[in-house]
Chain A
Amino acid sequence: MDLRESLKMAVKTLTASKLRSSLTMLGIIIGNASVISMVGLGDGGRRYINEQLQSLGPNILFIVPGSRETRELGALEVPRNLVLADADAIAEQVPSVVAVAAENTTPGLITFLNRNANVSVIGTNPAFVTVRSFTLDQGRFISDLDMQRTSAVAVLGNSLAERLFDGQVPLGQSLRINDVAFEVVGVLAVQGSNLGVNYDDAAIIPITTQASRIVGRTSTFGTEVSFITATARDSESMQTAEFQITNLLRLRHGIVDPNEDDFFIQNQDTLLAIADTITGALTLMLAAIASISLVVGGIGIMNIMLVSVRERTQEIGLRKAIGASRQDILIQFLIEAIILSAAGGAIGTLVGVSGLSLLSLLTPFEAAAPVSAIVFTVGVSGSIGLFFGVIPARQAAKLDPIVALRSI
């Protein structure tokens, strides 16, 4: 009995009981759809983060407080030992850097008339817009004069301005941040969220004003900052800039042993690498969880096939009586299991892929299943049919025709 005949026979048998076949496939369909969508989601997440990192602007260096230890232990509270003077020193003394922005983010309550909003209050300096490649929608950004005078001026994120002023012109309006009066001098263009900070929903004020009027001086070394961003002259100067900044900060912080650095510097590439590691692990974990449902689907096929062997005992007996060998029966049931799981796999893939397409159609999240994942899951589901089909098929092949024919 050749393979083509076996295939035709299996298709005939499976299409004869469509409901049962579809129900049997359901487990594999769900398993495959979930694997595909999980991998697709993970992949989309990775791309989303990459895009975010790339949108930060080119040639950016992040200078973040914290020792090697606190970084490796993943501590939530890091020593706040980077100060505004460090940022100024980098701007003045590091020749390969063209712009330096210091940022200090604190939560704050904004009040305008009877409207309140809990937002991030970001204290920064005029170079911020240059480093981050941000643009303004209205008005102006913080100026050097504002910094010197610790003026109470604020630049609002786009959606925050919308929310507070509701169609009125925000410029020149007076609002209160933590009960200190500020004048709105500018509104940012829409930026989107960036590294977990939603600049559209934040208020930006001079960092000097923030230090003197809102948070007070909390560091013994001057005005503390959350982190410093610096733009290198060009991509070739990145390494030089990193080296020079490191040296300068060690000098300023009195560090001799590099192991005792109380800051560390990251660039887009290292951030990308970290993000890749995290999202890669996440994708793998999601895929592993989804794979469990694929295996459960395979067990489902085995169950139904075992029931099917029992129910079709007479058929098996008859086939053997009229000349089917053990191998013929074995192959017949194996092929049925493989067809079920491969077809289920294909349908599941289709479901998963269309689900992902729907998601990317409805949300800005670009989720698509990589071709490798599709090939992998369809292959795996086929092998699952082979694997879980063996036990029922062997049972069928083992049946004694006399006993099988007599059973009812």
Chain B
Amino acid sequence: MRIGLAALSPARRTTLMRSDAVQRLLAFAALIAIILIFSLLSPNFLQFDNVVGILIATAVNGILALGVTFVIISGSIDLSIGTVMTLSSVMTAVFITEWHAPVPVGILAGVSTGALAGIVNGTLVAKLKIPSFIATLGMLNVAKGLALVVSGLKPIYFNDTPDFNRAAMGSVIGGVIPGLDIPNVVLVLFGCALVASLILTTTVLGRFTFALGSNEEAARLSGVNVVGWKIAVFTLAGIFSGIAGVLIGARLNSAQPSLGQGYELDAIAAAVIGGTSLSGGEGSILGTVIGAFIISTLTNGLRILSVPQEWQTVVTGGIVILAVYLDIVRRRQQQ
């Protein structure tokens, strides 16, 4: 027996295309357009070295953006990822240079620091019900302060362990295919993106990330352990911050304690440009990676055209506002 319900479905289904897919397409088109425009304006833009420069610049911000994508899809925000990244790099430096721990132990220490900060963020938000904006704003300052305290206000250099820097900036690909010297940090970015994408689309954690952002109360009433999964989401973001911290330390061959603030906004911008909705429930890793590339390509291109640094900031700020506005317009049209 078929019932009247069937009659309703086709008319509805055709009206909507998944809005994050639309934004992803739009972002990809924008990236291509930006690349085209800059390559026309400057012959240096598409030079191999410059492209590698863009890839390296995307690595750290991209990995931060992966983590914050989960948090935003789950309906929260994490403003602490930038300074947690800094604290993680300082912890790695302290382990390796002051306590002479082996490099892998130092890396583990950095990633664990990020995870710990994530657990604290998640607990503040999920258990103590502090709005994530406030809780992670607090964590931003806590991590920033701790990074300065632990480092004694000074950069720590990895002078005794040249392998650390070489591991990040050397090129496995260049070893296999001579001439194609793409540094390993870029591989780390794509590896992390792949893992993040698998987590988001094929695991329980990914499913609950969407569920939380889609309707947290409904998830709770369905018996989902909302508190636990929210903490897990923040922890994941913390882990990605930790990885970013290790990476930036290796790339700069030093832990810079005063770096980091402001990175969170670029990462959030990457996610939003890539179609992650600030109201939660929608988003994708592919979109975020595209978003991260848009930001670094834009920054790089403007620099090549000798646009002053301060104007580069103005442009990226404007792009973020535009992306959020487009998101709002799409949402309004759907209603």
The answer to whether A and B interact is no
Q: Which A residues fall within an 8 A CB radius of B?
A: none
